[in-house]
Chain A
Amino acid sequence: MSSSAFIKQLSGDFNNLEKRQSIWEKLNLDLPLLFAVVVLTGFGLMVLYSATDGNQADMRRQGIFIALAFIVMFLVAQVDVRVMRRWAPLMYLGSLSLLVAVLFFGTTANGAQRWLDLPGLPRFQPSEIMKLVLPLTLAAYFSTRPIPPRFKHIFWSLVLMGLPAVLISMQPDLGTALLIAVSGVFVLLLAGISWKLVGSAIGVGVLSIPAMWIFYLKEYQQQRILTFLNPEKDPLGTGWNIIQSKTAIGSGGFYGKGWLNGVQSRLDFLPEGQTDFIVAILAEEFGLAGVLLLLTLYLAIIGRGLYIAAVSNDMFTRLLAGSITLTFFVYVFVNIGMVSGILPVVGVPLPLVSLGGTSIVTLMLGFGILMSIHSHGKTAFRYAN
C-alpha cells in the first residue's frame, strides 16, 4: 500500500467519523467509560447508603465529592494530556516537596501523618496527587527514551519511584507507598523492561522478606500479616475484621439478603463497613450476583482503559493510560482480595464506592486523563494529517 493511499484511507475514515461525531465526542468524553463510571458510582452510593445506615451527612459529602470528581474529570478531559508531558518534571518536584512538607507540617490522624492543611485549600493527602504524578512523570521520562529501556534509565526511573515511596512510607502509609510504587512499576513493565530483570527483582524481593520483617515493618504491620495468615488466632482483636467480613460475604449467598437487609453491617459487626470493607456489605446484601455486577463494571472500565492505551498513538499516553488502568485494577483486586481474605489487610478503599472524597477525585482525574488521551489523540491524529 502506498503511503498516500494509506493516508487517504485514514483521512476518509476520519471524515466519516467527523460526520458522526457525537455530542460526547465534542465534549471530549468517552461514552463507554463514562457510562461504566456513572453506573458504578450510582451503585456505590446505593451500597454506601446501606453501609452508613442512611447517614445524611456522609451521603451528602460523598455526593458532593462525586459531583466534584465528575467536574474534575470533565475539565481534565478538555486538556490535551500531551501538554502535561512538558510539565511533568515540575509537577513531580512539586508533589515531592508536598510529601516532604507532610512529614514536617502534616496533620496526624490515627497515628499517621498523611494530611496537609494549607491555607485556602481543603485538607488533602499529597500522596493522592502522587498517585497520578508518578506514572505521568515516568511515562514522560520513557517517552523520550528508547524502548525497551536501558539499564541506566531503569535505574533513574527507580530513583524517581523510590523517592515518593520512601517519603510516603515514612508517614507511615505503607499501603499507599506500595501502590504508588506499583503504578511506577507498571510503566516500567509496559515500557518493555526485560523479564530477566523482573524475575531477578522478584527474587531479591522474596529473599529480603525476613530482613524487611525484622528491620522495616512496624509491629502493627507485622500483626496485620500474621492475622491474615491466621485470623482465628485472635478472633476478637485483630482477626475480627476479616472474620466478620468473610461472614458477611458468605452469608450473602447468591442473591444476597436484599438492600438494607445486611445484618452484619446494620448491627455494627463490620468496622469500616463504609470505607475499606464496603464490598462485604455489597456482597451480603446483593449476593454473588451483586459482586459479579460490580466486577463487570470494573472490568468494563479496565477493558476500556486498556483499549484506550492500546489505540493511543504515542508512547507517553500509552504508558500513562496503561499504568493508570492497571493501577486501578490493582486497587480493585487488593481491596476485594483483602476483604474476601486472600490478601492481608492493607488500607485500600474500594475504588469509586468506599466513603472518602479524595480518592474518588483522584480516580476520576485519572479517568479524565484517559478520556483526554482518547479524545485528543484522535483529533491530534487528524490535525497531523
Chain B
Amino acid sequence: MINDITLKDHNQERRIFLSRLLIGGIIALILIALLISRLIYLQIYQYEFYSTASDKNRIYSQSIAPTRGLIYDRNGVLLADNKPSFNLTVIRENVRDMDASISLIQGLVELSDAEVDDFKQRLRRRRVPFSSVPISFALDEEEIARLAVNQYRLPGFQVEAQLVRNYPLGAPVAHALGYLSSITEEELRTLNAEEYRGTHHIGKTGVERFYEPVLHGQVGYETVEKNARGQIMNVLDRTDPIPGEDLVLHLDSHLQLAAWEALGDYRGGVVALDIETGGVLAMVSKPSFDPNLFVGGISQAAYTSLNDPIETPLFNRALAKYSPGSTMKPFIGLAGLEYGVRTKDYQIQDPGYFILQGDSHIYHDWTWWLTETGHDLVNLAKAIYQSCDIYFWDMAVDLGIDRMAEFLDQFGFGKNTSIDISQASQGTLPSRQWKMETLGQPWYPGETLNSAIGQGYTEATPLQLATATMVLANKGQWRQPILLKKVGLFSEDLQHESSIPDIKLQNPDDWDFIHQAMQDVVHKDNGGYRNNGTAYPYIAMLEKMPYHMAGKSGTAQVVGMAADFDNNAEVPEQYRDHALFISFAPVENPTIAVAVFVEHGVGGSGVAGPIAKKIIDAYLLDDQGQLKQKFLPEPEMSLQQQQFSSVAESVGVL
C-alpha cells in the first residue's frame, strides 16, 4: 500500500515536472522568437538606417583648407606668408581628469584662467566625437619641450601644428595689407560655406580682404576612415586643395618702411604712387598695429589699446578724408587758366586780406597772423609758391564753385578712383548741387572762397591727393591707383586701361607752368623772405638735391577759427592744424607722386614737406645719395648712339 502510494506519487511528480519543463521550454521558445524578431527588426527593417550609421561612424569627409597665397612686394620681398604655429589641443574622450590636467598644464605653459574658461566654452560646443579642441595657441619651443617631457602625465593632450598667416614686416605695412582674423558668424552667412569649410580665418581689410577670393584658393576634400579613437586608419578618397594665388604688389617695402620712419612720432598717412603705372608704392598710416595679433586670437588688453580714441591704430589715415587746405591751389589755379578766368601774368596787389562784395566779413590771408601785411604784387605762380590765399579768393569769385567742382572732378576728387582700395573714402567735392542734395541748403558766396583754398566742405584723402598729383605730374594722363602688380611671382604685370578720361587742356603749356610753380614751392630761393617757396627753407635750402621736386603744402584748420590763438604752439594738440604736402619728382621726368598728411602737424611746408622729401629720396636716390640710374633724365641720343647702346647692352658691354 505504502509502495503503491509512493509509486503513484512518483508518477505524479514526474507529470508535474514534465508539465513545468514543457512550460519552461515553451517560454524559452517564445523568448528565442522574441530575440529573432528583434534581430530581424534590426538587420532587415532597420538595415538601411544602421548601415548608414555604421558608415557615418567611421567615414568622415573632412575638408582640407587650401594654403593661402603669399603676398610679395614689387622686389619680391615677402609681405605675408604662412608659418607653422603650434597649438596645444585635447581630445576630451581620452582625458582622464580634465581639471587636474589643466592645472598641470598651467604650470607648464602660459595659460590664464580666462583662456581656460574660453577653452571650456569651446569644449562644450557640439562637435564630432574624438575631435581635437585647442586649449593654448602659439606655443614657443620651450613650452613645446616642457609639454613633451610631461606628455605621459597628459593623456589626450597633444601639440598640433597648423599654418597661420604671418606678416614679417608687421605694423608698418598693416594698413596696406590688411590682416586675417577669425571668420565671424555674419561673414559665414555671406560666404560660400563650402569653400570655407576648414578655413578659420578671412581677410578683414586691405589687400587681404579685397583679394580674398584670389588668395584663398579652393578647398580640398578627403574621405577617411577613422577608428573609434578618431585615428585615421585609411584614406578612401582625396581631392587636393588648390592653393591660393600669390600676389605681387606695387608696394616697395623699402619705401614703405622709409615713409614709416619719415612720419616719426607723428600720426598721419602717406600715399606714394608710381606715376608710370598708378601702382601704390607706399601706403602708410600711423600709428598702426601688429597684424599678427589677430591671427592667433587677440588678448583683451591688446584689443583695448587698439581702440584708443586718439591713437586709433586701426584707423587708416591714408584713406580717410581731411580738409586738403592749400594743396588744392595748383589744381584750382590750373582751373583758372583753363577756364580763362586768369592769365599767367595777371597780378593782384595783396593787402593781406580780402573783402567779398556784399559780405561784411574780412577774409585774412594765412600769413596775416604773423605779419599783418600782404604778399605785395602776386601773380599765379607766386600765389602757388607763396601760397597766397588772397589771389585765389579773388580768382574764385570769377571762377565760381561749379566750374571749380567740375574741374576738380576730373582729378578724381569726390570719388574713389582706385582699382583695388575699396575702403578708401570718397572725400567731398562741394558744389551748389552737392550742397542742395546733401544739406538741402543754397550755396553761399563765402563758401566758394573756402573751397578755393581747400577748406570748408572740401575734403580729400591722402590717396586722392596723391592720385591728383600723379595726374597733374602726368599732364592729365590718368592712371588709376592700384596695389596689385601681378598675380604670381613669375607672371606678366597686369595692364589696366584707365576708365577715367584723360584731362585735355586747351593750352597744354599750362601743365608746365603749374609744374614750375610747384617746383618753386620747393626750390625758389630768390629774394629771401616772402619771395621764396614756402617749403624752400625746409627742403631745398638745407641741402643740394640731385633732382627737382615739385610740391605744394597745405595747412588745414581743424577748428573754425584758429584766430583765438596767436600761435599754433599754444593750441592744445587736438585743435592744432593738420599739415599736408603733395609732391612729385623728378619734375623733368615725373616718377613718383607723394601725398603726406600729418595729423595736427601744424606746418604743411615745415612738417609734411620734409617727410615727403625723405620719402622721395628713399625712392629716387641710391646709397650714395645720387639719383638712381633708371631715374636719370634720358639724354638725347642720335639714332647711331641708340643702336650702339642697344647692341652693347645685349652683349653686356655697358
Contact = CB atoms under 8 A, between A and B. Distances in A.
A326 interface: yes
Main secondary structure of the interface of B (DSSP, over half): helix
Contacts of A148: 16
Nearest to B233: A267
A64 interface: no
B39 A283 contact: yes
Nearest to A271: B228
B49 interface: yes
Contacts of B50: 246-251
A340 B35 CA distance: 8
Contact of B58 (A246, A267, A291): A267
A322 B25 CA distance: 10
Contacts of B9: 146-147
B43 A147 contact: no
B51 A253 contact: yes
A263 interface: yes
B18 A310 contact: yes
B31 interface: yes
Given A190-B20, A315-B17, A295 B47 contact: no
A268 B228 contact: yes
A340 B50 CA distance: 13
Nearest to B18: A310
B531 interface: no
Contact of B28 (A284, A287, A326): A326
A274 B552 CA distance: 87
Contacts of B38: 337, 340-342
Interface residues of B, number: 41
B35 A264 contact: no
A192 B17 CA distance: 6
Given A267-B233, A336-B35, A250 B42 contact: yes
Nearest to B25: A306
Given A189-B20, A250-B53, A333 B129 contact: no
Given A283-B43, A309-B21, A322-B24, A263 B54 contact: yes
A333 B32 contact: yes
Interface in A247-280: 247-254, 263-264, 266-269
Contacts of B51: 250-251, 253
B28 to A, nearest CB: 5
A252 B43 contact: yes
Interface string B42-61: 11101101110111011000
Given A247-B50, A326-B24, A333 B58 contact: no
Nearest to B93: A236
B34 A342 contact: yes
Contact of A191 (B12, B17, B32): B17
A251 B53 contact: yes
B228 A267 contact: yes
Indicate the member of B17, B44, B49, B227 with the most A CB atoms within 10 Å: B17
A306 B44 contact: no
A124 interface: no
A333 B18 contact: no
A377 B14 CA distance: 15
B54 A247 contact: yes
Given A247-B50, A248-B54, A250-B47, A268 B227 contact: yes
B225 interface: yes
A192 B14 CA distance: 10
Given A186-B24, A236-B129, A250-B51, A340 B16 contact: no
Contacts of B34: 342
B193 interface: no
A189 B24 contact: yes
B21 A190 contact: yes
A287 to B, nearest CB: 6
A299 interface: yes
Contacts of A147: 9, 12-13, 16-17
Interface in B113-139: 129
A235 to B, nearest CB: 8
A263 B21 contact: no
Nearest to B49: A250
B548 interface: no
Contacts of B16: 147-148, 191-192
Interface in A278-305: 283-284, 287-288, 291-292, 295, 298-299, 302-303
B216 to A, nearest CB: 34
Contacts of A333: 28, 31-32, 35
B235 interface: no
Nearest to A236: B129
Contacts of A292: 36
B27 to A, nearest CB: 9
Contacts of A337: 35, 38
Contacts of B39: 249, 283, 288, 291, 336, 340
B486 interface: no
A329 interface: yes
A306 B53 contact: no
Contact of B54 (A264, A309, A318): A264
B227 A267 contact: yes
B403 interface: no
A264 B54 CA distance: 7
Contacts of B47: 250-251, 253-254
B40 interface: yes
A306 B57 contact: no
B204 interface: no
A132 B569 CA distance: 107
A252 B51 CA distance: 7
Interface in A189-242: 189-192, 236
Interface in A317-368: 318-319, 322, 326, 329, 333, 336-337, 340-342
A279 to B, nearest CB: 9
A268 B94 CA distance: 14
Contacts of B36: 291-292, 295
Contact of A267 (B25, B129, B226): B226
A9 to B, nearest CB: 18
A177 B440 CA distance: 93
B28 A302 contact: yes
Nearest to B47: A253
Indicate the member of A248, A251, A299 with the most B CB atoms within 10 Å: A251
Contacts of A189: 20, 24
Contacts of B228: 244, 267-269
B153 interface: no
A269 B50 CA distance: 14
Contacts of B12: 147
Contacts of A190: 17, 20-21, 24
A198 to B, nearest CB: 11
Contacts of A342: 34-35, 38
B96 interface: no
B225 to A, nearest CB: 7
Contacts of A318: 14, 17, 21
A193 B574 CA distance: 103
A286 to B, nearest CB: 10
A116 B34 CA distance: 38
In order of increasing CB-CB distance, the 6 nearest A-B pairs are: A250-B50, A251-B54, A267-B227, A192-B16, A147-B13, A268-B228
Interface of B: 9, 12-14, 16-18, 20-21, 24-25, 28, 31-32, 34-36, 38-40, 42-44, 46-47, 49-51, 53-55, 57-58, 93, 129, 225-229, 233
27 contacts: A147-B16, A147-B17, A191-B16, A192-B13, A244-B57, A246-B50, A247-B50, A251-B54, A252-B43, A267-B57, A267-B233, A269-B227, A269-B228, A283-B43, A288-B40, A302-B25, A302-B28, A306-B21, A310-B21, A318-B14, A326-B24, A329-B31, A333-B28, A333-B31, A340-B38, A341-B38, A341-B42
Given A250-B47, A251-B54, A340-B35, 12 more contacts: A147-B12, A189-B20, A190-B24, A267-B57, A267-B228, A268-B228, A268-B229, A269-B228, A283-B42, A299-B32, A306-B24, A322-B24
